[in-house]
Amino acid sequence: MRSALVVLCLILASPATGFAQPESAARGPWDDAFDPTRRDAERLVRQGLLLLLLAEEQLGGRASPLAQAPYSQIDSALVRFERARQSMPDDPDLAFYTATALSSWERPGRDGGTEYRAEDAIAAWHRLRALDPDYMPARVALALAQLHFRRLELRRAAAEYEISLDRSLPEATILMGRTYLPSPLERRLALMYFEVDGAMVHGNLAEARMQLGELEAAVQHYQAAIVGSETPMSSALAGWGLALALHRGEDRERSLHAASDAIDLDPLAARPERDRVQRRWGAFAVLHDPAVFFEPAYEMFGYHAVGYEAFAARPGVDTRAALTNALASWRRFLAEGGTSSRFAAHARAQVERLESEVDSLPDDDAPARPSAPDLRLLGSRPASRALRDASARTWLPL
């Protein structure tokens, strides 16, 4: 023991000629752990990630209304991510957080619209793809597809949706063979890493195909979305999309059947946090959920029109009022910008058809006082509390 200690002391005291490594030598596996610059960068990443998660909570409507504006929190997160990138230039996790933050960034515009950083976000996702092509490829493609769709770059969006479907993997439901109950922020972080929902991608790809005028492909993808859907919400949205695609493909019978099925699902009826949406929109509530948006915005009135036509075919519903609302919806579609749509001719044809149908209704079908159809009568299940308490004005979304 003594001799070994002496030898060790001599080694430590001797000049490090034999053990010295040139500065250009490869770093050891523990060097980063003791690198103060790296530790500072990782701390910045953690701070930025916390700000990003808090902003995502606010955007999802689950944070206090007194919280900081989401875009301001995201700006603060991006500052930290950029500082960290100086020490971690090729870190794919950091590139993922940066791209996610840029995709989520939005704020009210000066002209009353909404400002986005879509171009920066697209560049960030492509940078992540270049750093590591196998880093969550389905989610990267989905993010790019959604950004391109928002910019109405439909061909690029459709191509990325196809990549997302091709690169998708089955979701893991158990981590390391054990159940795990995360905190709300940990759950938000986990959501960022979930594999994409194939049914949702099919539905979004169907919308892109429909906007490109490829109605047969759109119908196929909407049907795939319905078959693969695991929630009434996604089933209803895909059903609404299928109804409009079929209508535009001149298959009105199947279109109205699909719209009626989507209405009967009533996916928000058992969700008290969506009570206000139910009160305002009734059976159209799923189309106005905060998580749903339309590009272009006037597309919403096409869905309304098909929905009102589906109402008109139901027993016990005021046919004249339902068809009148369908007619007004198609007119609104055109007035809000639909004249520049590839489906403008279809919308005009529906206006002419419905004008003729409403005029041809027998006089005894006309109510003494015009009213909108009562959507509370729809569906096979009892109406939700929100629907039971709604007043007649609820059903005038025009």
Across the range 350-377, mean pLDDT stands at 67
The predicted pLDDT at position 39 comes to 86
State yes or no: pLDDT of 7 exceeds 50: no
pLDDT of res. 191 = 74
Instruction: Render pLDDT for 226-248 as a digit per residue (tens, 0 to 9).
Output: 998 888 888 999 999 999 999 99
State how far Cα 106 lies from the chain centre. 14
On the question of pLDDT at 254 being above 80, the answer is yes
Helix (H) or strand (E) holding 116: strand 114-116
For residue 70, give the nearest of 29, 16, 113, 108 by alpha carbon: 108
- Which neighbouring-strand residues pair with 108? 114
* 152 is a domain residue: no
What tokens does 150 get?
């928002």
Amino acid at 1: M
Q: How is 79-113 classified by DSSP, letter by letter?
A: HHHHHHHTT-TT-HHHHHHHHHHHHH-EEE-TTSS
The arithmetic mean of pLDDT across residues 260-287, rounded, is 77
State pTM to two decimals. 0.67
Q: CA 42, CA 373: separation in Å to the nearest integer?
A: 58
Per DSSP, the three-state class of 138 is helix
Give residue for tokens 């990630």.
49
339-356 pLDDT tens trace: 999 999 999 999 999 999
Name the 3-class secondary structure at 123. helix
Regarding predicted confidence, which is higher, 280 or 380? 280
Q: How far is CA 212 from the centre of its chain?
A: 20
Q: Could you give the 3-state DSSP secondary structure of residue 272?
A: helix
Q: Is residue 286 part of a domain?
A: yes
Q: How far apart are CA 96 and CA 103, in angstroms?
A: 11
pLDDT of residue 127: 96
Which pLDDT does position 357 carry in this prediction? Answer: 94
Up-side HSE of residue 337: CA atoms within 13 Å toward CB? 7
Mean pLDDT of 88-99: 93
Neighbours of 169 (CB within 10 A): 10
Do the beta carbons of residue 210 and residue 302 sit within 8 Å?
A: no
pLDDT digits (tens, 9 = 90+) for 121-178: 999 999 999 999 989 899 999 999 999 999 999 999 999 999 999 887 654 444 555 5
Would residue 218 count as lying in a domain? Answer: no
Residue owning tokens 């009570």 = 275
What per-residue confidence (pLDDT) applies to 352? 97
Q: How confident is the model at residue 269 (pLDDT cuts 50, 70, 90)?
A: low
More confident residue, 130 or 363: 130
What pLDDT, on a 0 to 100 scale, did the predictor assign at position 32?
A: 53
Per-residue model confidence as pLDDT tens digits over 288-306: 887 788 888 999 999 999 9
CB-side neighbour CA atoms (13 Å) of 275: 6
Q: Does residue 229 form part of some domain?
A: no
On whether residue 68 sits in a domain, the answer given is no
Q: Which of 3-17, 48-62, 293-307 has the highest mean pLDDT?
A: 293-307
| Per-residue pLDDT tens digits for 190-203 | 777 776 788 889 99
Residue 16 has pLDDT above 70, yes or no: no
Q: Note the pLDDT of residue 57.
A: 73
Could you read off the pLDDT of 221-230 as tens digits, one per residue? 999 999 988 8
In a domain, 319, yes or no: yes
**Structural domain count, the chain:** 1
The answer, yes or no, to whether residue 311 has pLDDT greater than 80, is yes
φ and ψ at residue 160, rounded to 5 degrees = -70, -35
> What's the mean per-residue pLDDT of the chain?
78
Q: Does the pLDDT at position 13 exceed 80?
A: no
pLDDT of residue 398 exceeding 50: no
Separation of alpha carbons 167 and 137, rounded Å: 6
Residue 273 is assigned to a structural domain of this protein: no
Q: Which pLDDT score, from 0 to 100, does residue 288 have?
A: 84
Position 251 in a domain:
no
In the structure, what pLDDT confidence band is assigned to residue 9 with cuts at 50, 70 and 90? very low
Residue of 40, 75, 43, 70 lying closest to 58 (CA atoms): 70
Percent of the chain with pLDDT over 90: 45
Q: Which two tokens stand for residue 184?
A: 């709300």
Provide the residue range defining the domain that includes 306: 279-398
Distances (CA, A) of 226 to 198, 291, 300: 11, 18, 20
The pLDDT of residue 29 is above 90: no
Residue 38: band (very low, low, confident or very high) from pLDDT cuts 50, 70, 90: confident
Sign of CA dihedral 383, 219, 350, 331: positive
Q: For residue 264, name the pLDDT band (cuts at 50, 70, 90).
A: confident
CA distance 238 to 224: 9
Within its chain, how far is the Cα of 178 from the centroid? Answer: 30
Report whether pLDDT(383) > 90: no
pLDDT above 50 (res 368): no
- Reduced to 3 states (helix: H, G, I; strand: E, B; else coil), residue 175 is strand
